[in-house]
Structure 1
């Protein structure tokens, strides 16, 4: 059974391990102050939000998301990060986290939830193709 809920101060160390795993997957290294900044924002739960997935009381998955305005619809929810511990994959953790963010967004009157992933992330894309519609957009970025 997967239990989804807000992250609590007791989850801080396990959250950071998972978030480090997420960033390693995308070949990024974050400065310690960015972990602290994100954690503080998640605890405030105003601008940025986070949920955790626990199996047998152990944090095994995380998701981070935020709401922003849209020019063509009511506010939208961007699911920015999603990561499941390797030992918990294939057990419905990511699906449960996506469902929880979707429910949260519906409760907050968002018009949609969306996210992006790398084109080579075939494992995650198998799930994403089952729970959401790939509208074919390509993401461009300018780093500052």
Structure 2
């Protein structure tokens, strides 16, 4: 793995984060409205919000991003940490950046007293699931959801 630094985002990182956020959307073939993107960015920077974001930096480039959300659980006294978004730039994939970003979330969750970190994987994302199967336990639960416009 190349030398990489994982850092919490700061206000001036928007222009580093945005191209990765757009790359993430292209990967999943979604188009998140700009108003949602700007509100999400503001939430990352608001200390009262449970949302967090970090960037992977290396060789003078932004290589990946991770977003997490802390929430209460009825199954534990410690919060749960939902790793909502993980994205590594095309040219940096397979170099350990994804693992470093997940380990960053693990360390932050432990520091905050969370009882677990959990996330979803798209069933077609086999490359990512190879990593996930090495560093986490696969749940037996299936996600159900109802979207509202």
Q: TM-score range by the shorter chain?
A: over 0.9
What are the ranges of 5 or more consecutive residues in structure 2 without an aligned counterpart?
none
RMSD: 1.0
Question: Aligned runs of 1:25-44 on 2, under 5 Å?
Answer: 25-44=27-46
- With 5-14 and 133-142 compared, the bigger mean Cα shift is at 5-14
On the 8 A contact 1:11/1:59 being kept in 2, the answer is no
Measured against aligned partners, the alpha-carbon deviations of 1:55-110 in whole angstroms (never above 9, x if no partner) come to: 11311100000110100112100000000000111111110000000000000000
Structure 1 ranges of 4+ moved more than 4 A? none
Structure 1 57/10 Cα, relative in aligned 2: closer, same or farther at 3 Å? farther
Q: Which residue of 1 aligns with 2:122?
A: 118
The size of the alignment, in residue pairs, is: 144
Of 5, 29, 32, 1:3 maps to 5
| TM-score normalised over the length of structure 2 | 0.92
